[in-house]
Amino acid sequence: MSIRLYDTAAQELRDFVPITEGKVGIYVCGLTTQGAPHIGHVRFAVAFDILRRWLTLGHGYDVTLVRNITDIDDKILAKSTEAGEQWWAWSYANERATNDALDLLGVLPPTYEPRATGHITEMQDLMATLIDKGHAYAAQDGSGDVYFDVRSYPAYGELTHQRIDDMEPAADADPRGKHDPRDFALWKGHKAGEPGTASWPTAYGQGRPGWHLECSAMARKYLGDTFDIHGGGVDLRFPHHENEQAQSRAAGLGFANYWLHNAWVTMGGEKMGKSLGNALLVTEITKVARPLVLRYYLGAAHYRSTIEYHEGSLREAEAAVDRIEGFLRRALGGGWVEYGTDLPVDFAAAMDDDLNVSSALAAIHETVRAGNTALDEGDDDKAQELGLQVVAMTEVLGVNPLNPQWGSTAGSGADDAMPALDALVRDRIDARAAARAARDFTLADQIRDQLTAAGIVVEDTASGARWSLARRNDA
């Protein structure tokens, strides 16, 4: 079965057909390294990590994923100056903080992670092509600014389905030298007060690249003139992605065949961001919630659906993760296992349907329920088979509790002790069941209290009692 993805440009679901059979090229707009990342920042990385995992684990594609670093930008210069730091030191510190946060959340490293400042030559070459083709011009005031001429490219606006006359003026450069207020900056001339290290020479004077030019040049270098998928947050559709596509295609490049955009994380109905004072840093949240739980939370909704963060969000995710983890530890002993099993049909169908993670998670939890029932009925072989399916499905979503990424005790004495612990707990659960059958509820409650005090959670179900280890919050 082929994958169907919602293409923002086409505004519809399309069958995914790669340019080269067996290979997929993806470019995802990374973060501007102006500050430490909050959970609204990193949702995009989790969303496209799930896409990548499904393409590789579900369909066997060889995926090249490029995620850039915008390490030169107006905000970086302003914030580094305010902090009394060199702009490049400020940028690098936040780059490391971002990568640490993504590692913490189990996001696979990209195939390539180019920095904008490392690709100035490629940007200048693309800019020269646009000038030669009549799609760009240098400001006549000697400022060193170079603009893309939106009126020269009739298809401008096709990605976001807008008419040029309905668009707001481009706010990324001083309008003094523009032919049209909507023309956007390919290159920004050096200004008084800016550090000299934040500029490079061109035929038009010292300056630095515009944001949009950076991504077009880096995507082309690592993925070629035409590639399969371009992704990023929904807020990047305009002007960033519209401008990327316009300048690339005006230069004669095919650019992206599919456009995918993930929605925001909101809080109180507003986009999460530092300007709203509601930013939740990854480093702060993971002091009170396991990284696995935060990863589960950020990936549990469909990537095109807005996530509304509220008090209790992470508790709900924690409960879901605990159900999965408790079953896997009972069925498989809790250590890392090689799963190598076919994925359930309903899970695969959900993922092929534009990465319908909600339905995929429903398939996982249904398998967990069936596995617990098998354990309660003493069918260990069936439980192990279902456990391996759960491992395979959660690995696709990046939330496999047994993966050493999450601090699994694989290979430790704790794993070896699980069968013995299960036997001991089962004995006490059977004793409690016998006491209840004899209507000795005082003894039954005492047994349950003893198990609770020992960190054992007992859940009474229609098919009998189940147990799991209580999750302690170390914060």
Q: Give the tens place of pLDDT for each residue, 447-461.
A: 888 888 787 877 776
182 CB-near residues (< 8 Å, 6+ apart): 150, 164, 167, 168, 169, 170
128 CB-near residues (< 8 Å, 6+ apart): none
Overall CATH class of domain 4-262: alpha beta
For the CA atoms of 179, 183, 189, 193, the dihedral, rounded to the nearest 10 degrees, stands at: 110
SS (H, E, C) the chain: CCCEEEECCCCEEEECCCCCCCEEEEEECCCECCCCCEHHHHHHHHHHHHHHHHHHHHCCCEEEEEECEECCCHHHHHHHHHHCCCHHHHHHHHHHHHHHHHHHCCCCCCCECCEHHHCHHHHHHHHHHHHHCCCEEECCCCCCCEEECHHHCCCCCCCCCCCHHHCCCCCCCCHHHCCCCCCEEEEEECCCCCCHHHCECCCCCCEEECHHHHHHHHHHHHHCCEEEEEEEEHHHHHHHHHHHHHHHHHCCCCEEEEEEEECCEEECCEECCHHHCCCCEHHHHCCCCCHHHHHHHHHCCCCCCCEEECCCHHHHHHHHHHHHHHHHHHHHCCCCCCCCCCCCHHHHHHHHECCCHHHHHHHHHHHHHHHHHHHHCCCHHHHHHHHHHHHHHHHHHCCCCCCHHHCCCCCCHHHHHHHHHHHHHHHHHHHHHHHHHCCCHHHHHHHHHHHHHCCEEEEEECCEEEEEECCCCCC
- Listed in order, the ranges of the chain carrying CATH 3.40.50.620 are 4-262
Which residues of the chain have a pLDDT value below 50?
408-416, 472-475
Instruction: Give dist(CA 102, CA 46) in Å, integer.
Output: 8
Residue-level pLDDT at 462: 54
Which residues are registered as beta bridge partners of 66? 27, 112
* 23 Ramachandran zone, left/alpha/beta (phi>0; psi -120 to 50): beta
Q: Please report the sign of the dihedral spanned by the C-alpha atoms of residue 321, residue 325, residue 328, residue 330.
A: negative
| pTM, entire model | 0.86
Terminal alpha carbon distance of the chain:
45
Residue-level pLDDT at 474: 41
Residue-level pLDDT at 345: 96
Question: What phi and psi, each to the nearest 5 degrees, are found at residue 289?
Answer: -140, 140
Instruction: For the beta carbon of residue 238, count every other beta carbon within 10 angstroms.
Output: 16
Residue-level pLDDT at 410: 39
Instruction: For the beta carbon of residue 85, count every other beta carbon within 10 angstroms.
Output: 13
Residue-level pLDDT at 418: 55
